[in-house]
Every structure is written in structure tokens, then in C-alpha cells.
Amino acid sequence: MTNSFGAPGSDRRYAHIVGWGMYVPEKVLTNDDLAAFMETSDEWISSRTGIRERRIASDRETSAVLGLKAAQQALQVTDILPPDIDLIIVATSTPENIFPSTASIIQHWLGATNAGAFDLSAACTGFVYGMDMAAQAIRSGSINTALVIGTETMSRVLDWRDRGTSILFGDGAGAVILQTRAERGGVLSSVLRSDGAGFDMLGLPTRGSTEIRSADGLADRQLHKMYMAGGEVFKFATRVIGESVRQAVAKAGIKLEDVNVIIPHQANQRIIQAAARGLGLDADMFISNLERYGNTSAASIPIALAEALQNERIHPGDHIVLVGFGGGLAWGSVVVKWGLVQPDDSTAGKIREQRRRAGYAIVRIRTRLRQWLRRISETLNALFGAQHPDDH
């Protein structure tokens, strides 16, 4: 699927990134911590991947909790109220449920009472897919404001006996708010691709908390844990990144020389270096935070974007490319022309911040009340017995 939004003469509605945020759990797991319980070393992990540590969610931190915190930060930057959001897309491979969606949970917690919400499954490319979907909805005129979140608790689906995968991943969330603007810019183009023939190279067959034994002789395979053929995925990634970036850049009507910053999915520093070589670009143009967070799957690109903005690596007028790749196999790129976005610290902005906080508190109180009422009603039913329709 290919979309070009910036072509001269096309309709004048552009989807600009106006808010961004990120959240990572406090708990840090270093390479040395891993080496304490599996046969590996800081030297092996850092030289082969660039990773030195990753964050691990606490028991209370689910993907929705991490995503909510990133979304609240994004709302604060753009200074809009949750009811102004029209659509929430959550890219995740580690939702709390098959349904209800993590997106619906976050929608409720935010108090985004006018938003549609759904989860998007495209593994590590999910955030790029979500950006494209949201930008299209804005471009078509059907919505004005979209919240796109990438959030993962990968630590829950890792097979800690498999040193080939468990050393790579970490937990975290990132979010952006896209909004309609008349000036040309924002998401200019996208290129999304998939090759399901590679389904067995990287995957998470099912969800569940108990070990599942299959009947077909794969006795010990944990179907609710992630598997990966690392070497094969490495080759696939280095092949598709350059191709995908070139295609998206051409669709945007710009040249590779016009690109200022590339934000790749954070999978492996050697993959990023190979992509830079393949594109003939300086490796410094690629944002990398692998060292601190490892691979956070669908969350890695929005986290890297939020940090790049915080570190002033992106400036108004810059062209940035987000490029994702991973399970599916799926991959894709979007080109964004950065607009003139300034965080609002006016008095009106501070009042709206108070209103947002009050809204979050009201949702928390209402949710608690509903839980208590349900518990009281269950207790009463258990004590006095609920009447069955057949009793009449």
C-alpha cells in the first residue's frame, strides 16, 4: 500500500504531528543482570547489538498503563483536551486482551469520550502503520485529531531460556498526536509492505499465562512466548530498510539529500549501521537509543522520536523518515515534514492542564465506584441468591 499526501494540487488537509510523549518503566535490567542467570555477557550483547540495558515493567504496569502515560504527555505538549480526540490507534503485540482492545482501555482512562479506538497488529512496524492510518483519516476529512500509540510489555512474552531473543527486548511506550493543518507538511508519504511467507521467522503464536504444550511433537515449545530466527530477520531487515526509505522519499517528492533525520525501529545497532551504509548516508542521521532501552517493538520509533525532539535533533522544516520492520514479515516507512510546533505554556494552557488532570481523576473514581458496586451486587447475590427466570 502506498500513499502520497504531499503532491502539488492535491486536497489541502495535512496531518501534522502536534504532540508527542514517551514513558518507560523505572526498573532497569542491565546486560550484567542477564549474565547472572543466563549464559551470556555484556561484551557479547553490546558488541553484537549495541544494547547495554533495557526497562522492565512492574506487575502493575500493563501495556495500557505505559501507553496511557505516554499519551498524557503527548496531550500536555499539544495542549488539547481528551474529548477533542477523534481516533485512538494502539500498535502493540502485547495487548492486555484479545478484546477489549488496549486502545479502548486507554480511551476510557483518558476520558476521550468522542474517540473511536482500536488495536493494530503489525509487530514492530505497527507504529508506522498506525501513523499512515491516522494520517489518511485526517487527509480524507473524516477526522481532525488522532492519537497514535506504540506500547509494549515484551518482558511478559519472552522465553527467558532463549538467549537469542530475551537479551534484545524491553518495555516502554511512545505516542504522537496528529492534527489537521492547512499548511503543507506533516505526513507527506507512506509505503507499507508485507511478506507473510516469512511468518515462521518471527512470531508470538498465542497469548496466555500457562505453558501450552502442542500435540505435534513440539513438546516444549511455549506458544505464548516469542520466537525469532535472528540471523534471517537480520538479513531481511538490512535488505528492506534502504528500499523502503527510498520508496517513501520518492513518493514524498523529495530527494534523499533533503532528509535530515531517520528514525529506524530500534532492533540492532549493526542493522542501523548497515542501513546507513546501504543508503550512503552518515550514520549520525539515524537516531539510536538502543543502548538504554533495547528493542521495544512497536514502541521503539515513537520513543526515539520523543527523545530526538527533547534533544533538539529535529527542527521546523526538517524532513524525517520513520522506518519500521519486523514480524509478519511487515515493514514500512513514512516521511514527515516537521511543522512549527511550540509547546503552549500560556495561562490558558495551564488551566486546560488542570482540566485534563481533573478529568483523569474523575475517570479513576468512577471506575473504582463501578468495581465496588459490582462487588457489592455479587456479594448480595451470593448471600441471598439471584432469582432464576425459570423460578417464575
Q: Measure the CA–CA gap between 74 and 267, rounded to whole angstroms.
A: 24
Q: For residues 286 and 276, is the Cβ–Cβ distance under 8 A?
A: yes
Rounded CA gap, 79 and 344, in Å? 7
The beta strand positions in 103-254, using DSSP E, are 116-120, 145-153, 171-181, 186-194, 202-203, 227-228
Joined grid coordinates for residue 100:
477489549
| Pick 202 or 252: Cβ nearer ligand UT7 | 202
What whole-number distance in Å separates Cα of residue 100 and Cα of residue 97? 6
What minimum distance in Å lies between the beta carbon of 43 and ligand UT7?
9
Residue in the block written with cell 537509543: 289
Nearer to ligand UT7, 81 or 283 (CB): 283
Beta-carbon contacts of 79 under 8 Å, excluding residues fewer than 6 positions away, are 343, 344, 349, 352, 353
Q: How many Cα atoms within 13 Å fall on the side-chain side of residue 159?
A: 19
Radius of gyration of the chain (CA): 22
First-residue to last-residue Cα distance in the chain: 59
> What is the number of residues in the chain?
392
Nearer to ligand UT7, 63 or 145 (CB): 63
Non-local (6+) Cβ contacts of 264 within 8 A are: 241, 271, 272, 275, 286, 287, 288, 301, 304, 323, 324
Residue closer to ligand UT7 (CB basis): 45 or 135: 45
Grid cell listed for 270: 549493526
Nearer to ligand UT7, 63 or 76 (CB): 63
Dihedral sign of CA atoms 83, 67, 93, 306 in order: positive
The answer to whether the bond into 100 is cis (omega within 30° of 0) is: yes
Report the nearest approach of ligand UT7 to the CB of residue 49 (Å).
5
Q: Annotated catalytic sites, by residue?
A: 124, 265, 295
d(CA 145, CA 326): 28
The site for ligand UT7 (CB under 6 A) is made up of 40, 44-45, 48-49, 124, 163-164, 167, 230-231, 233-234, 237, 267-268, 271, 295, 297, 326
87-112 core/surface letters (b: 16 or more CB in 10 A; e: else): bbbbbbbbbbeeeebbbbbbbbbbbb
| Residue 22 and residue 73 in contact, taking contact as beta carbons nearer than 8 Å | yes
Ranked by CB distance to ligand UT7, the top (closest) residue is 230
